[in-house]
Structure formats: structure tokens, C-alpha cells
Structure 1
Amino acid sequence: MADTVEEPAGRTAAPVMRRASWRHIGPGIVVAATGVGAGDLVATLIAGGKFGYTLLWAAVVGCLVKISLAEAAGRWHLATGRTLFDGWRSLGRWTTFYFVGYVIVWGFVYGAAAMSSSALPLGALFPDVMDLKWWGILCGLVGLAFVWFNRYAVFEKVMTVMVGVMFVVTVYLAVRVAPNLGDALAGLVPVLPEGSLVYTLGLIGGVGGTITLAAYGYWVNAKGWKDAGWMKVMRLDNRVAYLTTGVFVVAMLFVGAELLHSSGVAIAKGDRGLLDLGTILADRYGAATAKIFLVGFFATSFTSLIGVWHGVSLLFADFVAHYRPSLAPAGTPRDRSPAFRGYLLWLTFPPISLLFLDQPFGLVIAYGVIGAFFMPFLALTLVWLLNSARTPREWRNGRLSNAMLGVAGLLFVVLCVQQVRELPW
């Protein structure tokens, strides 16, 4: 039967079920920090600025959706002993064609976007030191060197420290603006104000949702979690991580509701909106608060940069291992293989050219079209894989998992259509 797969060698004995423990937490923090970028925080701020606390419930639902997606990716890796790309490949060659096209175009444009996003707070913190594009190039090269020379354990520790910085800064801002807790609690009741549908869908599906959700299983394996015995640990890790993400989102919604909505102030879309917020904070609370915010802005952007540099390079190295084993030889750690390092270089050097261009419209359009299709692809292929004989029966989806992944898939299809419609055709 086509769906039947052989059990990997050495996996015949039942794995030792390890107890969930806080000391094991790590990969989830990495994937959550990577998925929440500066653009996500701006989207949350704008939603809070337009609708106050009304859409707080959407942020909570979005957190639950991401927990379900990351848990499914981690469960596939641990239950089957196979990587996610290996699972995709079993669904047909079309998945490989899509993946290759996506990571090539997406990687090229995302590299420039990540460098620019990391450069913005540095340019604001250290004005007149150098032009933004040179700050961006510096961030890209530092990210390249860091991922190139460090193994997963060091990478995870640095990401955890930077997540701590993000957490402290966002919570400090939320407390500083003195949120109205009564209105916030009322915002947990699902309501759709007029004109809020797109913002609601964006809060549910956009924050923390990128290709790095697919990298979660690879980070789980890099941590040393190799079989179903780690399932409870993985689930605790994942839940803690996305609850942390939920705190980021709720905190920024509070800031948007109090600073923007109450005063009718608007900020720019995209990463530059955070610079606008820095100016507002400086006027309202002083330069020190604005600088603290910019430090958090940099931590948010740079964790996304090095997270993608590491996680998507692991995905690419796995793809190459299936088709060009000589570039990802067996026995060589994935993060030391030529394929991994080749994709690192692709993420860094070709995108630098975009930093010198004002409007690379053609590539941005292609990126938008391909990028819009990845999250529904991830959600729906996970439903397929985890309901088939490719997954051991005890670890297949239950009703709740199928419901959450099905809702996520439909949500991301709607977001995909919306994003494609908004492209400058």
C-alpha cells in the first residue's frame, strides 16, 4: 500500500517516555522568536490602534493555531523518525518543486528584508554613524558568521537571551502605558467591528507564522530529541514558547490600544512603523523609554534573521541530502554540510544587492505570490501526513488536532487570497 512505510532501523523497541521538564525547553523558544518579526509587531500595533482591545480574542486564537501547527510538525519528526521534507516528498514530486521554488525566491527577498529590519533600530540608536544599508549589510554578515561557526546549543542559548530581552521590553511597555484591564477582558469576547476582518485574520494567522514553523521539527532533532519518548517534552516546550509569543502580541496590542487608539495617532505600515512608535514613546515617556524600546525592536528583528539563517538552511540541507547526498554527506552534522552553508551564503550575499535598489517590484511580486501559499501548504500537508499510515497509529491526529489544523489551513487559504489580491499587479 502506498501509504505504508517501513519502520526505521533501531526503532522497533518502545522508546523511553521522558518526563516533561522545564529544563529541556529550547526549540520552541527558537521557533517562536524567529516567527515573530518586526512586521508582526507593527501589524499588532495597527490593529490595536484601529480597534483598541476589541481584537484581543483574535491574538489568543492565533496563539492556539500556532501551538497546533508547531506541535504537529514536532510530532511528525518524533513519531516517525523522518524529517518533514521526507514526509512532503512521500506525497509526490509536486511538493519538491514547490519547496525549491519557494526557498530560492523567498530566501533572496527575505534576506534583504531581514537585514533592513535589523538595521532600522541600529540606525535610530546610533544616528549619523553609517547609512542604513551598511547597517543592514553588517547585520547580515554578523548573522552569517554567528550561524556558520556555532552549533545548535550556542544558537539556542543566544536566542533564549534575546527572547528574554524581547519579553522584558514588551511587558515593560505594556505596563508603562497603563492598560485598561476592564476593556482588555472585554476584548476576549469574539467581536468583529466593521472593517476589522482583514486585521482579525492577520492577528490569527500572521503573527508567528512563517516557514520557520516547518523548521521546528529540525530544531527538535538538533536538540537531541529523536523519538516518541520526547513527545511530552516537546509539547511542553511548544506550549511555553507560544504562550510567550502570546505575551508579545498582547503587550503590543495594549500599547497600540493605549498610545494610538486613544489619541487617534496612526503609524506607517511595515517595519518603519516601529520607528514611528519610538518617536511617540520619546515624546510621551522620554528618550530612555524610546531607547529601551529600540533595543527590543533590534532583538525582535535579529532573532528572526539568525533564526531563518539557521532553520531554513537546515530545511534546505535536508532537501539536498535526498537529491545530492555528496553535498550533505551522511555522518556530517546538517549545520556543517556544504548544502547548509551554501544556503547561508544565498541568504546573505545576493540579497545585499537589493539593499542598493529602491523598488525591486518584480521580485517582490513573485515573493508575495509564492510566500502567500506556504502556510496553507504546511497546514494541509500536515493534515495529510498525520492522518495516513505514514504516521504510527498512536500518534496520528485526533479530532481536536484535525479541527485545529483544518481551521488553520482554511484560514491561511483566505489570507493567501487576500495577500495576492493586494499585490500591485
Structure 2
Amino acid sequence: MAETTQTGTGAGENQAPRKPSWRSIGPGMVVAATGVGAGDLVATLIAGSKFGYTLLWAAVIGCLVKISLAEAAGRWHLATGRTLFDGWRSLGPWTSVYFAGYVVVWGFVYGAAAMSSSALPLAALFPGVMDLKVWAVLCGLSGLVFVWFNRYAVFEKVMTGLVGVMFAVTVYLAIRVTPHLGSALTGLAPVLPDGSLVYTLGLIGGVGGTITLAAYGYWVNAKGWTDTGWMRVMRLDNRIAYLTTGVFVVAMLFVGAELLYASGVALAKGDKGLLDLSGVLEERYGAATAKLFLVGFFATSYTSLIGVWHGVSLMFADFAAKYRPSLVPAGTGPERSLPFRAYLLWLTFPPIGLLFLDQPFGLVIVYGVVGALFMPFLALTLLWLLNSARTPAAWRNGMLSNAMLGAAGLLFVVLCVQQLWDLAG
């Protein structure tokens, strides 16, 4: 079914292009910072600690994949005047069923994970002040209050400031470990050492690859970019954001290669691996460097928390409005709507209960299955939408976009199968 009804200002029309400028950027920084969490940095560090600079090329390709996906989401919103959920819904009711299940299960488990991740560096910075679970609850509640009472403009400024902290800390660490640039350049040649396939796929597909890529178009609209005249601005914003993400990834790969690979230090998997790194940094460079790293660790985790609290709540509000328009009355911003705030509460309070329990095995399995399917779902549905009559002809995919989205879809299908196989095991 090719649904072509369009809403919004200037959908598919030739709008006067706005001039791209550095002062225009914002939504890209938000989506990049939200997508890069502590677990992604651990995965990058472990890849560097096991294979040195050999997989640097995979990190570069990963950034290009994310640029393509976010650009496609933003282009859909600007070219059609419709939201991404509008597009999914036009593909059939199965998309709504999947999305509803995804946001309910994923949000419940992710809420607890995000709170715990943000709490870890605070507990390490202020040892003995309070229990880790109390820190986690405070992080969740502070995220709830911040997003509840602030609109997008304030949210973007805070996220950009935290990105600045992340950028400064990671670049400082990369310089401090004194990388061997000659060896690093050899890592740009695509090579797969024995046992590196899983890490390679993870570097390409994992860093910054979450539901927040789908939220990019919603943040583009929240910024006030609503028609094709903003297309060049959106593309500049997206590229700068993921180039910044590339710097994060490369910097952490440098740290893993220089600090851990040479000395044979192994990190724990998951967010606690960053606490291991803090100990290594303190032993090698002193307490000040270790504490600075913990500040960067907190900025990385907390941007993911408040980014999901805001972006996925926007998506849920759009989902609810399609079935009950009265829930988001005309003239009422989605950030003040009942569904937006209801999902904020869902992300915060039920997961607080989960913090005090061992995660039920069945819930973890369902979360893993639903989560593994989302990135293939995003890449392949964008490929479908942007090659159909739903998108104005001038803004449909070209050969390069189709190649990138097709490669991303294939990659995420492979990663999905691998994750489901791990869960089955």
C-alpha cells in the first residue's frame, strides 16, 4: 500500500534553502550523545585492548553507517512533513504492534540500566556517601524532573554542554596515553584478525546505534526544522554530530590500544569496565586524571538517560496521538502532552523497582529479543519508505543512500541473529 497523504508545512515542496551554519547545529549532537552510552565506550575499549589499532577502520565505517541512518530519518520528516511513526504505520499494522511491544519492554529494562550506569561514576567520585541504588534513583528522578519542566531548547543546550565535557575528557585521555599515529594509520586498512569478527560487527553497528537514531527526526522538528528548506542544515548538523562521535570512538580505541593492549590489562564487560579503567588511570597518571575520567563517564551515561527520557517520550506521544488524537490536542506541544509525561513516568518509576530486584530471566530474554530486532527494523523500513511513493520523488534515495541503508540493514540482521543466538545459548 502506497499512502501518499502528507501533512505539515511544505511537505515535498521546493522551499527556500536555509544557509547551513555552525550556530544551527543541535539535534545531531543530541542524537549522537544519547546513542553513545557507557556500554559502547566499554566495547570500544575492549576492542582496542584485544586488537590494538587493527579495528580502527571498523569504527570509521560505523560512523558512516550512523550518518546514513540519521540522515534518512531526518530526510523523511523534512521531505514528507510526516513523522517516522506515520511512515511505519503506512506499512501495515504489524509495525504498530512491534513498536508498542518494543517501547513497553525496552523502556522498562532500559530505565533501570540507564540509572545504574549514571550512578556508577557518582558512587566512585563520592565513595561512602550513599548506596549505589540511591544514586541510581536520584539520577532517574533528576532526569524526570529536568525533562518534565524543560522544553527542547533548554534540553538541547544542556546536552550540548555535556557533549563538550565528553569530548574534552576523551580527547585529553587520548593525548595523555601518547598514541603512535603511524600504527594508528595502519588500522585504517580493513583487516580481520582471528577472533575479531564479533568485535568488528559491534564497532560498526553498536556505537550510537539505538532507538534514538529514529528519534532524530522528532528532534529536527522540535528544533523548528519542518520543511525541505532545512535539508542542507539538517545534513550539516548530522555529519558534524557523527564526526564528533567518531572522535569519541577513536579516542577510546587509542586508550584501549595504548593503555590496555600493551600491558595486557583486561576490563570487565558492561559499564563496570569503565571503573576498572579509572583504577588503571589512577595508577598510571594519578587521582586527578582518574576523577576527570569519571566526570566524563558520568556525562556519557547521563546524556543517554535524559536523551532517551526526552526523545523516546516524543516518539511515544506521536504513537499515542495517531490512535487517540485528543491525547495531544492541536496547539499543545507534545512535550506537555499526557502520553509524553506518561511515558516519562514509565521510564522512571517501574525501573526503580527493578533496581532492587535481580532482573527476571524471562524479562531479560524478551528485552534482548525485542532490542535485537529494532536496528534491522529501522534500517529496512527506512529503505522501504524512502524508495516508495510515500516520499516525494526529489527526495527519494539515490544509489549511495540505498547502498548505505542496504548495507546497514544487512549488518544489523547479522548482529540480530548473533544476539539471538547468544540469548538462546
Q: When the two structures are superposed, what TM-score results if normalisation uses the length of structure 2?
A: 0.98
**Aligned-residue offset at 1:7:** 4.0
Residue pair 2:8, 2:82 contacting (<8 A) in 1 also: no
Indicate the residue corresponding to 2:235 in structure 1: 235
CA RMSD of aligned residues (A): 1.0
Residue pair 2:121, 2:298 contacting (<8 A) in 1 also: yes
**Aligned-residue offset at 1:339:** 0.3
Letter aligned with residue 94 of structure 1: W
Give ranges in structure 1 of 5+ residues lacking alignment. Answer: none
**Aligned-residue offset at 1:364:** 1.1
Residue pair 1:116, 1:136 contacting (<8 A) in 2 also: yes
Indicate the residue corresponding to 2:157 in structure 1: 157
Paired with 1:91 and 1:394, the residues of 2 have a C-alpha distance of 21
Q: Deviations over 1:17-39 (max 9, x none)?
A: 11111110000000000000000
Paired with 2:359 and 2:50, the residues of 1 have a C-alpha distance of 29
Counterpart mapping for 1:18-417 below 5 A: 18-417=18-417
Q: Deviations over 1:245-266 (max 9, x none)?
A: 0000000000000111000110
Indicate the residue corresponding to 1:3 in structure 2: 2
**Aligned-residue offset at 1:326:** 2.2
**Aligned-residue offset at 1:4:** 4.5
Q: Deviations over 1:333-366 (max 9, x none)?
A: 0111000000000000000011101343221111
Residue pair 1:18, 1:229 contacting (<8 A) in 2 also: yes
Q: Deviations over 1:99-125 (max 9, x none)?
A: 000000000000000000000000000
Letter aligned with residue 110 of structure 1: Y
Counterpart secondary structure, 1:68:
helix
Residue pair 2:6, 2:82 contacting (<8 A) in 1 also: no
Residue pair 2:9, 2:227 contacting (<8 A) in 1 also: no
Q: Deviations over 1:282-319 (max 9, x none)?
A: 00000000000000000000000000000000000000
Residue pair 1:28, 1:240 contacting (<8 A) in 2 also: yes
Quick one: structure 1 residues 10 and 159, their matched pair in 2 at CA, closer, same or farther if it must change by over 3 Å?
closer
Q: Deviations over 1:57-93 (max 9, x none)?
A: 0000000000000000000000000000000000000
Quick one: structure 1 residues 10 and 128, their matched pair in 2 at CA, closer, same or farther if it must change by over 3 Å?
closer
Letter aligned with residue 11 of structure 1: G
Give ranges in structure 2 of 5+ residues lacking alignment. Answer: none
Letter aligned with residue 4 of structure 2: V
Residue pair 1:219, 1:311 contacting (<8 A) in 2 also: yes
Paired with 2:188 and 2:401, the residues of 1 have a C-alpha distance of 23
Paired with 2:31 and 2:165, the residues of 1 have a C-alpha distance of 16
Q: When the two structures are superposed, what TM-score results if normalisation uses the length of structure 1?
A: 0.98
Quick one: structure 1 residues 235 and 131, their matched pair in 2 at CA, closer, same or farther if it must change by over 3 Å?
same
Paired with 2:208 and 2:239, the residues of 1 have a C-alpha distance of 13
Letter aligned with residue 314 of structure 1: L
Residue pair 2:20, 2:236 contacting (<8 A) in 1 also: yes
**Aligned-residue offset at 1:6:** 3.1
Q: Deviations over 1:123-148 (max 9, x none)?
A: 00000011101000000000000000
Residue pair 1:169, 1:293 contacting (<8 A) in 2 also: yes
**Aligned-residue offset at 1:422:** 1.2
Residue pair 1:354, 1:360 contacting (<8 A) in 2 also: no
Letter aligned with residue 250 of structure 1: V
How many positions carry a matched residue from both structures? Answer: 424
Counterpart secondary structure, 2:397:
coil
Counterpart secondary structure, 2:423:
coil
Paired with 1:10 and 1:33, the residues of 2 have a C-alpha distance of 29
**Aligned-residue offset at 1:424:** 5.7
Paired with 2:100 and 2:9, the residues of 1 have a C-alpha distance of 31
Counterpart secondary structure, 1:16:
coil
Q: Could you tell which deviates more after superposition, 360-369 or 402-411?
A: 360-369
Paired with 2:424 and 2:50, the residues of 1 have a C-alpha distance of 24
Q: Could you tell which deviates more after superposition, 82-91 or 3-12?
A: 3-12
Letter aligned with residue 260 of structure 2: L
Paired with 2:197 and 2:7, the residues of 1 have a C-alpha distance of 46
